[in-house]
Amino acid sequence: MSTDAKPVPESSVMLPPLPLSQWQATYDTLHMWTQMLGKVRLAYCPAVNHWWGVTLYVTATGLTTSPMPYDQGSFEIQFDFVNHVLLIETSSGAFRELMLEPQSVAEFYRKFMAALVGLGVDVRIYTMPMEFPNPIRFELDEVHNAYDAEAVSRFWRILSWSDSVFKKFRASFIGKASPVHFFWGSFDLAVTRFSGRPAPPRPDADAITAEAYSHEVSSAGFWPGGGGVDGPAYYSYAAPEPAGFSEAKVKPASAFYHPTFREYLLMYDDVRNAASPEKSLMQFLQSTYDAAANLAMWDRAALERKAR
């Protein structure tokens, strides 16, 4: 009897619902916790163009910082959203675990920093959250204290599936492209393609934005919603935005251009309810990229892998 694993048919994928209103409190708390990991990564990792050196990455069970250099070795911090623990490991074999459960941001911060000190990692981070309305310093935040494990599990399943589709989309591009990575500031999973040309400087851009958009990009991603978007969504934008981009014909039919965000959106529920979720998302990724690259006159022959 053969024990070879068989691939799961795409049609059997069952993506869970994730109504924003039902997990907003947990979302906000988890956002703060991921920022702690990101700020440690910011403190210890070399600066990489477009802030790629500070992002998190999807793993088989959650999110990771990937190994970070420290002293004569390295350490890694991982969210495990299957068993709901935070794991900190060092290259010497030492480790600490923290349970992911309802607790305030301040309490989690104290436990997190104590665990790092216990492993010999003496780190100081800027404790004010970034890209978050009405921020409260981690050590003072008793407001955000929710953790709905079921909601986090559903978020994780969506993130894991989206990561796999983004990687398939990325594979056809041979120009400069980002990894598929998770930005803890904006709390989104993203993948970005570059034309290879510098972009005009943005007026009044801060240091973060100036570095992020120093070159022409077509970027796509997933985030749980907010800021006027009532639910999780996929997005795609071009920067700088070429003339005519907002009027481009993109797929699937449910995708639309958001004039405030200046990007195309495809609501997650439209993807998960599609006959083929992967086909629906790939249509969105490809058609919005086509619009950006064609209108901005990218050298597509030099940047894309020919179909085999």
Mean pLDDT score, 65-81? 95
Mean pLDDT, the chain, integer: 94
Mean pLDDT score, 154-161? 98
DSSP per-residue letters across 249-301 = --SSTT-EEETTTTEEEEEHHHHHTSSSHHHHHHHHHHHHHHHHHHHTT--HH
Q: pLDDT at residue 90 above 70? A: yes
Quote the crossing angle between the two packed helices 277-295 and 149-170, to the nearest 10°.
50
Q: pLDDT at residue 2 above 70? A: no
What pLDDT, on the 0 to 100 scale, is given for residue 306? 82
Q: pLDDT at residue 161 above 50? A: yes
Q: State how far the alpha carbon of 77 is from the alpha carbons of 21, 80, 178, 191, 210, in Å.
A: 29, 10, 21, 22, 29
* pLDDT band at residue 32 using 50, 70 and 90 as cut-offs: very high
Q: pLDDT at residue 79 above 90? A: yes
- End-to-end CA gap in the chain: 34
What b/e sequence results for 265-298 when a residue is b if at least 16 CB atoms lie within 10 Å of its CB, and e otherwise?
bbbbbbbbebeebbebbbbbbbbbbbbbbebbeb
Mean pLDDT score, 83-100? 98
Mean pLDDT score, 56-82? 96
Sketch the domain layout of the chain as residue ranges: 20-140, 149-303
Give 235-260 pLDDT, tens digit per residue: 999 999 999 999 999 999 999 999 99
Mean pLDDT score, 172-195? 97
What pLDDT, on the 0 to 100 scale, is given for residue 22? 96
Q: State how far the alpha carbon of 236 is from the alpha carbons of 123, 241, 284, in Å.
A: 36, 11, 8
Round to whole Å and give the CA distance between 220 and 180.
Answer: 10
* pTM confidence score: 0.94
Mean pLDDT score, 166-189? 97
Q: State how far the alpha carbon of 98 is from the alpha carbons of 20, 21, 51, 176, in Å.
A: 26, 27, 28, 37
